[in-house]
Amino acid sequence: MSLPRLACLLPLLVVLPFFSPTDAFSQKKSAEPRAKKPDLPPSTLPLEFIKGERIAILGSSTAERMSLFGHFETLLHLRNKDKELVIRNFGRPAEAVNVQQRSGDYTKIDDPLFAFNPDTFLCFFGFNESFAGKDGVEKFKADYERFIDDYTARYPRDDAKSKPRFVLVSPIAVETSSDPLLTDAKSQNENLKLYADAVKAVAAKRNIAFIDVFSKSLGEFGEKPGLQFTINGIHLNDAGDKGLRTCSSSACTRKADRGPPTTLRPMRSSAPQ
């Protein structure tokens, strides 16, 4: 490096040690006041939405892979055109009701979920937890209730501490495959049925909406042999996500799936968050 260029950098070398990252980049913004929001309708099916409602999708791979296709978000927007819904996918493959692994400085600047300020949580849990088998069901139910309480306290809708709304979705079934290296669908579906029932029980106890995608997917997965709706028996492909879209959005809105392809296609291109 030439001496003139080094001379230009010397002032920076002097200043930088005294410039703390927390002063500008890592310091959380002071929270702006959050005015009282309109009351939400009860968590019952079909769901009613308020204008501008913010919906956070939570859960493991089933939720996370929805962002690859955009079918559910598209239909929800299409069926609620006047509501101006805002939907964001926070799903992560290894997520569970008692496991949300994040890097140590994940909320250094801000908490993305708090910043999004959701009104409704659409929760897809139970699949990862099902590997604990029948012995883990009661713990799963207790963990789910603890999760609901924790997120209610951590993410109020406004400064008046208005509670967010929860909708619980069952895990999907495992698709049968002839590949001996893939998951044994029969035994895993027996476990998944237990956990789908557990999600339903938690929803009933808390008096919140429950959407059963396990029964629907189990029926569809068994219609033809081989992998039709997943890439490996458990992770949905585009066709599988369409089925999840139809089941979930129909349960949410109780409207027939009549969106013409010419309408859906341009909306899907911007749906994933």
- Considering the chain, what is the average pLDDT of its residues? 84
Indicate the angle between helix axes 238-253 and 214-221, nearest 10 degrees.
140
Confidence of residue 250 (pLDDT cuts 50, 70, 90): low
SS (H, E, C) the chain: CCHHHHHHHHHHHHHHHHCCHHHHCCCCCCCCCCCCCCCCCCCCCCCCCCCCCEEEEEECHHHHCHHHHCHHHHHHHHCCCCCCCEEEECCCCCCECCECCCCCCCCCCCCHHHHHCCCEEEEECCCHHHHHCHHHHHHHHHHHHHHHHHHHHHCCCCCCCCCCEEEEECCCCCCCCCCCCCCCHHHHHHHHHHHHHHHHHHHHHHCCEEECCHHHHHHHHCCCCCCCCECCCCCECHHHHHHHHHHHHHHHHCCCCCCCHHHHHHHHCCCCC
Name the pLDDT band for 255 (thresholds 50, 70, 90). low
Percent of the chain with pLDDT over 70: 79
Question: What are the beta bridge partners of residue 166?
Answer: 121
Q: Looking at the predicted structure, is the pLDDT value of residue 264 above 90? A: no
Q: What's the whole-number mean pLDDT along residues 85-99?
A: 95
The residues spanned by each domain of the chain are 47-102+110-268
Amino acid 226: pLDDT: 84
Instruction: Read off the pLDDT of each residue in 193-206 and give the average, rounded to a whole number.
Output: 98
The pLDDT, as a whole number, for residue 254 is: 58
Least trusted range by pLDDT, from 9-13, 202-206, 249-253, 257-261: 9-13
Please state at what angle helix 71-78 crosses helix 238-253, rounded to 10 degrees.
Answer: 30
10 Å CB burial of residue 235 (0-12, 13-18, 19+) is: middle
Q: What is the pLDDT of residue 245?
A: 75
Q: What is the mean pLDDT of residues 142-151?
A: 98
Confidence of residue 130 (pLDDT cuts 50, 70, 90): very high
pLDDT value, residue 19 = 35
- Region 147-154: mean pLDDT is 97
Domain 47-102+110-268 in this protein, CATH class: alpha beta
pLDDT band at 197 (very low <50, low <70, confident <90, very high): very high
Question: Quick check: 139 and 132 in contact, CB under 8 A?
Answer: yes
pLDDT tier for residue 17 given thresholds of 50, 70 and 90: very low
